[in-house]
Amino acid sequence: MSKQIFICGCEKDGKIEKKSVEKLMSTLEEKNIAYTYIEDMCGTILKNPDDLESLYNAKDAIVFGCQTRAMQHLVANSGRKTEGNGTEYHHVDDDSQEELISTLESNTGEPLKIKYSDSWKPWYPVIDYDRCNGCRKCLNFCLFSVYSVEDDGTVVVSASANCKDMCPACARVCPQNAIIFPKHAESPIDGGEGDGTENEKTDILEQIQNEDVYSVLSARRKNFQVSLLKKDQFKMAEDERRACCSSSDKKEEKKAEKCDCDCNCKNDSESKCDSKDGDSNSCCC
């Protein structure tokens, strides 16, 4: 049996490139591969979960959308997915996309569409249970009771609608980086793997508890200003380098120019040129 294809368009204040989604859809259509377009999976899974029945029950599926970890846990968090089904998740901008599509069998189904027509922007946390260790920091941290604890101690997102649009604060306090906001702009909060720096913890929290608070804060401010300065300097250096490059480009252009009078004065200032007038040391060029 062929794989079922799903594409999430992240339409509600989304973060993925519309062009990428459109490109993917036209490629599939060209190849006569049927797919289901989900306008906004975050929204539908919360507001109209029944609409995604085909995704939960698909024996073998591929989902294109935002970060794979975000989609995988978003679907897992719904608790409706049939266990044991093979579902692959891919970013719409995934490099291996073409290769992947080439392996798909064409079929003649019509594209389906799952609409999300609510005005509410589905901004809420998704928990990556592979990472969550149940420390409850998020639970105590959130001012709006988005989280709660089940009888068995599992932390769950129980009041998604209480979550404040664009506030990813709980994800930042999570020591496991286990909280995902799929619509967030940065990795790893958006479910990406991050660049590794997010785990580089300074010991500033410890310093505050054990050293003089005021000197720690002064030092922090100073360090930051220095780093800003460095950033400025770096930017300046980059600008200068760019300026350098472009001016040497010009030089080369000039070099390429030929002197009208066939002399060699462009390259050799000492060369004699008949066209030179004695005072200004300049010739035709």
Partner 1 sequence: MILKNNQSNISFGNDLPQHPEKLKQIRDLIRDYAAECELIPPLQEEEVIFHSGELIRKHPELFLYQKLLAVMINNYAWSQIVAGIPFNRRILLLPKCISHSTLCPAKYDELGLLCEQCGRCDLAEIISQADELGYHTIVTEGTTSASLLLSSGQVECVVGVGCLHSFERSFPLAVKEAVPSLAIPLYNNNCKDSKVDKIWLDEVLSMRSKSNWKGWIDLDSIKSVLKDWFATAQLKTLFGQDDDTVDIAVRWMETDGKRWRPTIMLAVYDALTGKSGEYDDTIQKLAVSIECFHKASLVHDDIVDEDDERYGKPTLHKEYDIPVALNVGDLLLGYGYQMIAESEAKHIRKLLKVAACGHRDLSLGQGEELLWRNNEKLLTQEEILRIFSNKTSPAFEVALQFGAILADADENILNIISEYSNALGIAYQVNDDLDDFKQKRIVSGFNTIQPSLVSTLLNQKHPEKMQEWFERTKNGDESINTEFLKWAETRQAMKEAEEMLNIYKRNALKALKPLNNPTLKILLTRLLNRIVPENS
**Spatial CB neighbours of 21, under 8 Å, sequence gap ≥ 6:** 7, 9, 64, 92
Q: Which two tokens stand for residue 70?
A: 């975000």
Q: What track of x and - describes contact with partner 1 for positions 79 through 118 (by CB under 8 A)?
A: ----------------------------------------
We find the least distance from the C-beta atom of residue 208 to partner 1, in angstroms, to be 6
Comparison of 121 and 276: residue with beta carbon closer to partner 1:
121
Per-residue x/- track, 179-218, partner 1 (CB under 8 A): ------x---------------xx-xx--xx--xxx--xx
CA–CA dist 171, 174 (Å, integer): 5
Instruction: Check binding of 149 to partner 1 (CB under 8 A).
Output: no
Is residue 52 within 8 A of residue 38, CB to CB? The reply is yes
- Cis before 188? omega within 30: yes
- Residue of 170, 179, 180, 283 interacting with partner 1 (CB under 8 A): 170
Q: Which residue has the tokens 């089904």?
A: 85
DSSP-derived secondary structure letter, 231: H
- H or E segment and range at residue 65: strand 60-65
Which of 66/265 has CB closer to partner 1?
Answer: 66
Under the criterion CB under 8 A, does residue 234 sit at the interface with partner 1? no
User: Residue 209 is encoded by which pair of tokens?
Assistant: 């508890």
Interface with partner 1 by CB under 8 A: which residues? 46-47, 77-78, 141, 143-144, 156-162, 164-167, 169-170, 172-173, 185, 201-202, 204-205, 208-209, 212-214, 217-218, 220-221, 224, 228
